[in-house]
Amino acid sequence: MTPNWTEQREALREWLLSHPRILIGCDFDGTLAPLMPHADEARLPRVTGEAMQRLIALPGVALAVISGRAIADLRQRVALDGAWYAGNHGLEMAAADGSTVVAPGAEDARAALRHALGRLAPLPREMPGVWIEDKGLTASVHYRQASEDCRAQLEACVREAVKGLEALKVRPAKCIWEILPAGEWDKGTALRWFMNRWGVPSNATAFMGDDVTDLNAFRELPDGWTILVGNDVDVKARMRLRHPGDTAMLLEWMAKVRA
């Protein structure tokens, strides 16, 4: 069983104090911010934002937020100067110095994505509780508020919408079907880009996330800190947090120790 973070406190303390430079990566929904019935309702708790700001201000600490949200949406919700951001599952990234990059091939899939979204347009009328989020480079089909009875049919509809569109792929997440460019870029690739830019190895990096899409970031940290939030994903991680409230507590503790 994955240990609770308090069981790893001393090992984590040693990690925080032994590296001159560290990178702490976080997912947003379900990790920093509590999951809400509708994604538009998600907000970064004040106490979490304050802990993140204290970490950012410390020498040798970089903090990156890597999310499935569009980067503009993510930056607006986090709103912390000095943070690093990656949106659309890492397809678009911004370093703290303002430099940005879009994953190779992501723009090329826009026409196919528009075509798939056109096929899916009737879904919200036909399946109450389903809504579609167009994030520019990707799209999310949300069904958290939909009936359990329609979910198998919804999956079939989403997969049919991308049929024949080789530029796209479909991937499940928590009460979401993600439609993305077919390339290999993901949250792990984005985390690796941030690690390279900050100049830290995997053993000086931590990442916390709650969803199956965050496992790609865990992949990049064979000797780093992989931190799973919640109990919804059955995966091996170095330690576990119960909920986003624990995330805030951990970030505050990390800032105090590092200071």
Q: Which residues are catalytic?
A: 27
> Residues 6 or more apart from 11 whose CB is under 8 A from it?
none
Phi, psi of 205 (to 5 degrees): -130, 145
Q: How far is CA 8 from CA 12, 18, 219, in A?
A: 6, 15, 20
**8-state DSSP, 2:** P
CA–CA dist 224, 111 (Å, integer): 38
From 38, 102, 54, 50, select the one nearest 78 (Cα to Cα): 50
92-110 burial, b for 16+ CB within 10 Å, e for fewer?
Answer: bbbbbeeeeeebeebeebe
Q: Which value, in Å, is the radius of gyration of the alpha carbons in the chain?
A: 18
How far is 166 from 151, CA to CA, in rounded Å? 24
